[in-house]
Amino acid sequence: MGTQPAKDRSAGLVQGTLDMLILKTLALEAMHSYDIGARLARVSQGVFVVNPGSLFPAFRRLERSGLIRGEWRDTENNRRARYYSLTSRGRKRLGDETKHWRRLSGAIARVLEA
Amino acid sequence: MDALGRFFRGLRALFRRDRDDHELDEELRAYADDSAAAHARAGMDPAAARRAAGVEMGSAEAVKDHVRDVGWETHFDSLLRDLRYGARILFRHPGFSAAAILTLALGVGANTALFSVVNAVLLKPLPYPDDDRLVTLAGTHSVPDVADLATLSKSFTAMGTLARWDADLVGEGEPERIFAELAGEDTFKALAVPAAIGRTFDARDDQARAPVVILSDGFWRSHLAADPAVIGRKLTLSGKVYDVIGVMPPGFRTPFNGSAAQLWVPFRFGYPEAAEARGAHFTNPVARLAPHVTLAAARAELELLGRRLAEAHPDEARTFVPEPLRDRVNGEIRRPLLLLFAAVSLVLLVACANYASLLLARGAGRGAEMRLRRALGAGRGRLVRQLVTESALLSLLGGLAGALLASLGLRALAALRPEGLPAVNPIGLDLDALAFALLASFVTGLAFGAAPAWQAARGGERPPASSTTSAATSPLRRGLVVAQLALALVLLTGAGLLMRSFAILLAQPSGFQPAGVLTMRLQLPAARYDSIPSQQAFLSRLEEGLRDLPGARAAGLVSELPLSGWRMMHNMIVEGQPQVPEGQEPEIYTHEVSPGYFAAAGTPIVRGRGIAVSDAPGAALVGVVNEAFVRRFAPDRDPLGMRARWARADPNAWMTIVGVVGDARFESLGEEQSPTIYTPFLQKQQPWKRWTAVVIRTAGGDPMAFAERVRQDVRRLDPALPITEVRPMSAVLLSSVSDRRFNLILLSAFAGLAFGLAAVGVYGVLAHLVAQRSREVGVRMALGARRLDVLWLMLRQGLPLIGLGIAGGTLAALASTHLMRSLLYGIGPGDPLTFVAAAACLALVGVLASLIPAQRAARVDPCIALRAE
């Protein structure tokens, strides 16, 4: 990542997968938009770098589906930012998706190793 | 649940769009700040960090667009914008908009009106539960036969039968004639419609001595003020007192007799003689198939039962063939109605062609707008969407206007209502029809608006087409005009065939002279006229009184009026004919007449004499036959002096034929003539024939002016006797052709509509051509062309279109008119005269429609035309 302006390397991410990763990121604590993108990049060790052009529509999508909730709060350095947090429905969906994903990726791995 | 949540959140977003936009801006700004701060922390100088953050973000507007696209409300928003814009455009071109909406409205309106009829008559089920399980028996049958079948048969859960009955309601003031029906006890059980108040007939009524009656909802409201305690009230009908036992629900109608009955009584009380008479075949059975019994199985069983009944009553052998009730109710009207619907669909096609043509011309005029919008970045899909939205707006308005026209059209149709149109379901502009109007309008609007929209949107990409051939006169538009002309010709040919048939039919000899003749019907109540002498005494006095009325040329009585559709057949034995088994004697139409009848009706006496006053009880029995009788039974001998008698009466009661009269039509003008015998009512042998029609030939003027005097005369003899169906003989004749007239008027109206639309189409194309070539015309005229040359030059443009239209239309008509063979009379479906006349008519109108713009071209002032460009 470094100082180079990041290129959107989320193109390989299917919409649903990006949504799941965002839900997972928010499972720990409420976050604002930049932190969500940055954490996704950091945790994936630079594999998923998601641009605002994909990130913000995903927030709107999840919010419309009632999976996350956004509210304005002050940050630690006293700026206003929109913090997103999981709703109970979002938490449930994350559980379902994770289970589904585990089963799927396990199966794919077994097929590939066979 | 998810979808619902998205819907409501989107709805909420619609109302706080500005705030949402503002928040999104702020959020994006915060993101950029964070991003810049992160870059700065990584060691960039502040300016470079901000730049890097900006690159990462890309266009903030693009991001916002992506975000907005997530919610459905955005699409709704742009739809609203398109609609607003479309409405503005339509409003700014009122001429075009009015023409397009009117074109759609005419096509859709005509279709919706006819759809309402088709829907009520053919599509909707009969208003009885499981109506597909209901059957009737082909033909008409007697009450005892139906009762026996109901008892013996295992195929039906219930079988009843219905017959028309005119009831005289004597209350306060004038006696009133109520249209009623006699009903077999199980009729209502078969129809499976329970009473709204009280009950329908059941087995109790078989044992009960007291007469009972069931009322329709309409009668209950109009005559009994919707009295909730009506059960047990008494009604005096035709001299008997009936107990009300039930009121049917609103909208309940029986399937036969025009579905007009207002009350129902059992045969046993209303017409006791007929309830016992196995030979009186005048009722329409209705039965409900038992579960799991097929029509074929029921047919097999009834055939068997028919044979058993024939063994028991050999002189009344009948066959019983069940058929679906629906087929009986709709059978006759189905084909004409479907043909009319096909015809009106052609009208819609013609209208569609006009509509598409209008849009094409309009699209050509909007090339500049489309190019500009393309240049500003609108995608083709976006432009098509805009144009389709405009089309949809036109469709909506056209559909609503069409529904309005349809409701007016239905009112006109109701006035024309032919007698053969079933009334068991009410015909009106209902929700089905409205949905049909909007659907038809949208399908046509979008289907025929899409191609022009596509062309217009594509036009936006290309440089302007050369000015002489724009889309306005493109091959597509010319093709549309040819198609319109061809379709209009098909309709015109069809209407022409009906018109010729109708004229030929009306020119048929009817066997009577209707001009100046007044008719009416009387039914003698059983209570006061149960014996033959009492009936004869009344009728004799009546005829004398009527004959002596000032202004009456002749007056007579007849049991059934010509062309009224009523008549009775009896098995008769004609002397000199080969012996036949009992029950298979020839069936001959019979009418009882008074001495004055033939003169009053204008039926000519061909040989011998008519009925005389001396043909009285006690004198030798006589009869007068028609020419068809002579053709059948006495083709090569003198009919006078021949003898005939009723097959079911005294074998010694021979009637001697004393005269021959001309064939008169009793059923319809186009019917084959059948052997008929007229007997003097003074020698009548059936006491249950208590009805008569009065025929009075007046000296001239409106026969209806005579009605009051006749009424007074009847009232003088019997003040409680109701008089019905008072109308001129010409009206009787007209109502006998009302079905044909309905078809004729409707098809003619459709042909006229298609014709007008096609003429407008021709005119539109030619007018456009003329406008485009006005400069050329100017040059030609400046160079010395005469006005006539210019006129011909322009007219020549339209001729190939008209020629092709006529050729195509004639071929299509040749291929399709055979479908209407059953509606024709006296001509074949390929009648050359009609084809030529229709083509000539189309050619004339086509040339006239071209002549108007051509003449405008010929009036062009060369100076102005040349200066204009």
Model confidence pLDDT, tens digit, residues B213-265: 999 999 999 888 899 999 989 988 877 889 999 999 998 999 988 888 999 99
Across the interface, do B30 and A80 touch by the CB < 8 Å criterion?
Answer: yes
Q: What are phi and psi of B696, to 5 degrees?
A: -125, 125
More confident residue, B286 or B474: B286
Across the interface, do A38 and B6 touch by the CB < 8 Å criterion?
Answer: no
Confidence band for B473, pLDDT divided at 50, 70 and 90:
low
Residue-wise pLDDT for B141-157, tens only, equals 999 999 999 999 999 99
The chain-wide mean pLDDT, for chain B, equals 85
Please provide the size of chain B in residues.
869
Which residues neighbour A18 within 8 Å (Cβ) at sequence distance 6 or greater?
Answer: A10, A50, A54, A58
More confident residue, B338 or B769: B338
**Cβ-contact B315, B648 below 8 angstroms:** yes
Confidence band for B660, pLDDT divided at 50, 70 and 90:
very high
pLDDT for B731 beyond 60: yes
pLDDT for B741 beyond 90: no
With an 8 Å Cβ cutoff, is A110 touching chain B?
Answer: no
| Among B6, B23, B56, beta carbon nearest to A6 | B56
Across the interface, do B69 and A34 touch by the CB < 8 Å criterion?
Answer: no
Residue range B10-16: average pLDDT?
79
With an 8 Å Cβ cutoff, is A39 touching chain B?
Answer: no
Measured between alpha carbons, how far is A96 from A103 in angstroms, rounded to an integer?
11
Within 10 angstroms of residue B778's Cβ, the number of other Cβ atoms is 23
> Which tokens is A16 given?
């649903």
Choose among B591, B601, B668: nearest CA to B625.
B591
A 71-90: CB under 8 A from B: 72, 79-82
Residue range B681-702: average pLDDT?
85
Across the interface, do A51 and B56 touch by the CB < 8 Å criterion?
Answer: yes
pLDDT for B117 beyond 50: yes
In percent, the amount of chain B with pLDDT more than 90 equals: 28
Helix (H, G, I), strand (E, B) or coil at A100: helix
pLDDT at B184: 86
Confidence band for B206, pLDDT divided at 50, 70 and 90:
low
With an 8 Å Cβ cutoff, is A34 touching chain B?
Answer: yes
Residue-wise pLDDT for B799-827, tens only, equals 888 999 999 999 999 999 998 888 888 89
Q: What are phi and psi of B214, to 5 degrees?
A: -115, 135
> Which tokens is B547 given?
């004959």
pLDDT at A2: 37
pLDDT for B2 beyond 80: no
With an 8 Å Cβ cutoff, is A12 touching chain B?
Answer: no
pLDDT for B283 beyond 70: yes
For residue B283, give the DSSP letter.
Answer: B
In percent, the amount of chain B with pLDDT more than 70 equals: 96
Across the interface, do A66 and B5 touch by the CB < 8 Å criterion?
Answer: yes
**Cβ-contact B446, B388 below 8 angstroms:** yes
Across the interface, do B57 and A52 touch by the CB < 8 Å criterion?
Answer: yes
Best residue of B14, B67, B68, B74 to probe chain A, by most A CBs closer than 10 Å: B67
Residue-wise pLDDT for B400-445, tens only, equals 999 999 999 888 888 777 777 777 788 888 888 888 888 888 887 7
Measured between alpha carbons, how far is B72 from B859 in angstroms, rounded to an integer?
57
* Beta strands, E only, B594-664: 605-608, 622-626, 643-646, 655-661
pLDDT at A6: 45
Confidence band for B853, pLDDT divided at 50, 70 and 90:
confident
> Which tokens is B744 given?
């004729």
CA-CA-CA-CA torsion sign (B448, B453, B458, B464):
positive
Within 10 angstroms of residue B810's Cβ, the number of other Cβ atoms is 19
* Cα distances (Å, whole numbers) of residue B273 to B310, B591, B687, B814: 21, 19, 9, 55
pLDDT at B133: 93
Measured between alpha carbons, how far is B316 from B662 in angstroms, rounded to an integer?
31
* Cα distances (Å, whole numbers) of residue B577 to B322, B525, B574, B638, B678: 34, 39, 6, 14, 19
With an 8 Å Cβ cutoff, is A6 touching chain B?
Answer: yes
> Which tokens is B489 given?
């010709």
Choose among B361, B398, B480, B394: nearest CA to B761.
B480
Calculate ∠ Cα B752-B756-B757, nearest 5°: 120
Confidence band for B464, pLDDT divided at 50, 70 and 90:
very low
pLDDT for B636 beyond 70: yes
Chain A residues with CB-CB distance to B53 below 8 A: 5
* Cα distances (Å, whole numbers) of residue B265 to B205, B271, B312: 10, 9, 29
Across the interface, do A32 and B34 touch by the CB < 8 Å criterion?
Answer: yes
For residue B819, give the DSSP letter.
Answer: G
Which residue of chain A is at minimal alpha-carbon distance from B48? A3
* Beta strands, E only, chain A: 31-32, 68-74, 80-86
Across the interface, do B30 and A33 touch by the CB < 8 Å criterion?
Answer: yes
Provide the H-helix boundaries in B460-557: 475-506, 532-547
pLDDT for B83 beyond 50: yes
pLDDT at A8: 54
Residue given tokens 């399980």 in the structure block: B133
Residue range B357-374: average pLDDT?
76
Measured between alpha carbons, how far is A61 from B107 in angstroms, rounded to an integer?
46
Chain A residues with CB-CB distance to B30 below 8 A: 32-34, 79-82
Across the interface, do A3 and B44 touch by the CB < 8 Å criterion?
Answer: yes
Specify the amino acid at residue B313: H
Which pairing describes strands B552-558 and B723-728: parallel, antiparallel, or unpaired? Answer: unpaired
